[in-house]
């Protein structure tokens, strides 16, 4: 019994430590922003890695997300809701929730793990110490470019995801559910609010920050060789996934009840 409490306590303290490290790193990144012009080439490089590299993953995820959302909505509408609302529901759910959150989860798994593994390897092979020895701030040189690139590319990937998901939904509705293209398109436009799109993009920007911070924190604190790097990558993915879901709730409350309420 005591062992259980000890483990729970240790896990709780570990989580608090990780969150504290995220806070400290964020503060350092904010302080390093004055040196952003010096790191533009690094930001562009990271944007290519995060953005271009994630496109195939986001493409496949989004097509099936839109397709499944359409089939599920169509099934639930039967006998209760007019089918002209199908496009409306698909658009709303994709723009507000599915696009930003699923993009963040899949990109978070790919990019968060990649950042943690790369920085973790640099940590255990003393490359980060070498940077420090050369009087190059690792926060400015390694974390800042990844943070800025993720904050820019997540909204871009989310816009791409939204378009593909809605396209996937349209395709399934028209070709498998006998919904006319006009009915689906009218539904898309019906009740469309620009703030739905903006709300989703604000979420995506925050998710980008979470993914970069999770990867950087666990990479910078990796210890003990290959096993340590593997664990850092795993913890980065777990942390970014959980924080994305928790932050999604907080942002939903803030954006749609306070800001656009």
Partner 1 sequence: MSQGIVIQGLHKRFDDNVVLDGIDLRIERGEQRVILGRSGQGKSVLLKLLVGLLEADAGSIVVDGQEVTRMRREELYQLRRRFSMVFQGGALFDSMTILENVGLGLQEHTKLSDGEIRRRAEEALATVELVDVGSKLPSALSGGMRKRASLARAIVTEPDYILYDEPTTGLDPITSDAINRMIRRLDDELGVTSLVVTHDMTSAFTVGERFTLLNDGCVCFEGTADEARSSTDGPIRQFIDGNSEGSLECN
Q: What are the residues binding partner 1 (CB under 8 A)?
A: 118, 121-122, 125-127, 129-137
CB 66 within 8 A of CB 94: yes
In the complex, least distance from residue 15 CB atom to partner 1, rounded to whole angstroms: 22
Minimum CB distance to partner 1, residue 152 (Å)? 21
**Nearest residue to 232 via CA among 217, 210, 242:** 217
Minimum Å gap between C-beta 141 and partner 1 is 8
Is the CB of 127 or the CB of 185 nearer to partner 1?
A: 127
Which CB atom, from 129 or from 178, has the smaller least distance to partner 1?
A: 129
Structure-token pair, residue 185: 């398109």
Of residues 30 and 136, the one with the C-beta less far from partner 1: 136
Q: What is the DSSP string of 181-230?
A: HHHHHHHHHTT--HHHHHHHHHHHHHHHHHHHHHHHHHHHT--SHHHHHH
For the four alpha carbons of 216, 218, 224 and 230, in that order, the dihedral sign comes to negative
**Looking at beta carbons only, is 131 or 202 nearer to partner 1?**
131
Residue with tokens 């994630």: 54
Smallest distance, Å, CB 125 to partner 1?
6
In angstroms, give the least distance from the CB of 128 to partner 1.
9
| C-alpha angle 115-117-119 in degrees, rounded to nearest 5 | 65
- Structure tokens given for 194: 């620009």
Q: Closer CB to partner 1, residue 138 or residue 155?
A: 138
- Alpha-carbon 131 to chain mean position: 29
Tokens of 234: 């795993």
């Amino acid at each position: 019994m005591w062992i259980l409490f000890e483990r729970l306590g240790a896990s709780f303290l570990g989580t608090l430590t990780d969150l504290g490290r995220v806070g400290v790193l964020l503060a350092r990144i904010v302080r390093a922003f004055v040196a952003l012009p010096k790191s533009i080439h690094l930001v562009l490089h990271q944007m290519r890695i995060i953005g271009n590299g994630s496109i195939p993953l986001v493409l496949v995820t989004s097509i099936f997300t839109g397709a499944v959302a359409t089939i599920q909505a169509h099934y639930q509408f039967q006998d209760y809701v007019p089918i002209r609302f199908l496009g409306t529901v698909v658009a709303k759910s994709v723009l507000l929730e599915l696009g930003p959150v699923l993009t963040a989860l899949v990109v978070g798994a790919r990019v968060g793990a990649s950042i943690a593994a790369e920085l973790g390897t640099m940590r255990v092979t003393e490359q980060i110490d070498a940077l420090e020895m050369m009087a190059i701030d690792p926060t400015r040189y390694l974390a800042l470019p990844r943070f800025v690139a993720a904050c820019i590319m997540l909204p871009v990937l989310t816009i791409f995801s939204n378009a593909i998901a809605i396209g996937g939904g349209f395709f399934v509705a028209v070709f498998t559910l006998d919904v006319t293209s006009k009915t689906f398109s009218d539904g898309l436009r019906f009740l469309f609010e620009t703030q739905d799109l903006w709300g989703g993009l604000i979420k995506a920007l925050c998710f980008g920050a979470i993914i970069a911070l999770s990867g950087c924190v666990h990479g910078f604190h990796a210890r003990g060789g290959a096993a340590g790097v593997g664990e850092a990558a795993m913890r980065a993915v777990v942390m970014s996934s959980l924080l994305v879901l928790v932050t999604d709730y907080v942002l939903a409350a803030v954006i749609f009840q306070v800001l656009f309420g």
